[in-house]
Structure 1
């Protein structure tokens, strides 16, 4: 395959999407990926971040045109670049690749591309695992969870329960890791997002997905209890109680039972909201807004 320089690859990628020339899009993205890898290896982080943005723009455009193979290939390339950036300690390039992966997953889900959205969510979780929670600041951790939630929400909107389940699994893993690291604010954020996705699952009558959400919340909450994160454990109980009611209202078969059994792990009786609880939730919502504005 002929390798293009950066300017040629960007132009070819954009024009080839418009022409629906998939092989030419692959060529452009392959060239850009190689160029970004070169910049990362040479510690030219700003240049690498610029090229990653070009990859993201072309891949999103291709996804909107229904080129799912391009979507999957681009996600895998972005994951590869994220790993290379993490090894070099290039935070800007790593974050750019992470956000690009999440956004591409959301676009894929919004266009009913189940495989593409699932690969994106899984790749996000892989990026999480090799870049380690303790090396991320609060806003970066919020970004991971928000990106996963957005993929799940888009999947729910298109009626793709399997893709939603995949996003729930990944988001649940994030919550458990945050709780294990005693990151209470981050854990509560992820629990809130799981509850939000659970509500979407209930609206779509996705019994299996809602059951999976309940189990993820329970597992995260149990770790929070073990680590002494009382507010996070309490949030788990609130979320499960809310989802149990929603599942019952939709007359779902299994999820009301799963949620009820999950609640057995939490025995808080003083569950009324306090000014501290309300202040914490307000703080989390403000961080979410700030993170979204930067994505």
Structure 2
């Protein structure tokens, strides 16, 4: 038996072992399996780029997601956190090695698990996933991998929406702030679309919160937008800054409409704090921002 055959057999056995341990509720055993599957996946990432290695690595990532869903079903918190950590590490390694398709696969697996955890009320695990998504987004931004950064943002937006539906305020706030964190790191000419996208997604979350009359959540979004705007202003990222200002103005008007006075005042103060001197033509910005919204829709479909 060749070394490749031996490795593939070991991978299959480990996947089967992970599924069995998850079914039996063996949290420690599942944690060990995730560690082993992560190591196998990282090894494949560093091998020659062949169709066989690519398929093998994707199969491992899919298996990690399957086991992750099983431990979520059983509310196995430690094992669930291990699934987040392992998929996150695989995604980062793939991104660092410019293996974008594998990074996307791992990121998508992580994003779907994050939604699963929130849907089952696993607040601590969902917050851990939100932090990991931010780290992936920032790492992707540094590597100038726009699709990965934007997909991280999109999953954080979806996680915030799921947390809103499931009444998980801590997960909701974490997702919002981690989303803003990616936007703040994605400045510069090559990655500014990601910053613009973050502001657009934050506006959507703030709008949803305002329409529900949820004052604390609206204020969290306003604070996140102000922090994002300050960072964009500091880095002279004008296009993203104007979208941030538009988002704040939208939330100010909505807060007035729904009688959320503290949010109105918070938005006013945030707007006063941001310098929009030298902003490009509004019509050009509007067209570009519509293109970025469509870009988010496309990458989500591709994932």
TM, length-normalised to structure 2: 0.81
Instruction: Find out whether 1:148 has 2:156 as its counterpart.
Output: yes
User: What is the root-mean-square deviation in Å for CA atoms of aligned residues?
Assistant: 3.0
Alignment of 1:23-62 (within 5 A): 23=27, 25-26=30-31, 28-42=33-47, 46=54, 47-62=56-71
Where does structure 1 differ by over 6 angstroms across 4 or more consecutive aligned residues? Answer: 267-271
Aligned to 2:249: 241
Q: Deviations over 1:127-148 (max 9, x none)?
A: 234x351423332222121111
SS in 1 for 2:137: helix
Q: CA separation of 1:175/1:108 partners in 2, compared to 1, >3 Å: closer, same or farther? A: same
Superposed displacement of residue 150, structure 1? 1.2
Superposed displacement of residue 232, structure 1? 2.6
| 8 A contact 1:121–1:166 mirrored in 2 | yes
SS in 2 for 1:5: helix
Quote the Cα distance in structure 1 between the aligned partners of 2:117 and 2:44: 28
Superposed displacement of residue 30, structure 1? 4.1
Give ranges in structure 1 of 5+ residues lacking alignment: none
Instruction: Find out whether 1:98 has 2:102 as its counterpart.
Output: no
Superposed displacement of residue 65, structure 1? 4.2
| 8 A contact 1:134–1:181 mirrored in 2 | no
SS in 2 for 1:173: helix
Aligned to 1:10: 15
Instruction: Find out whether 1:138 has 2:146 as its counterpart.
Output: yes
| 8 A contact 1:161–1:206 mirrored in 2 | no
| 8 A contact 2:137–2:150 mirrored in 1 | no
Which of residues 25, 28, 37 is equivalent to 1:21?
Answer: 25
Aligned to 1:69: 78
Q: Deviations over 1:208-241 (max 9, x none)?
A: 3322211221232334344444443222222112
| 8 A contact 2:183–2:198 mirrored in 1 | yes
Instruction: Find out whether 1:118 has 2:127 as its counterpart.
Output: yes
Report how many aligned residue pairs link the two structures. Answer: 289
Give ranges in structure 2 of 5+ residues lacking alignment: 1-8
Quote the Cα distance in structure 2 between the aligned partners of 1:83 and 1:57: 20
Quote the Cα distance in structure 2 between the aligned partners of 1:58 and 1:203: 37
Aligned to 1:217: 225
Q: CA separation of 1:195/1:88 partners in 2, compared to 1, >3 Å: closer, same or farther? A: same
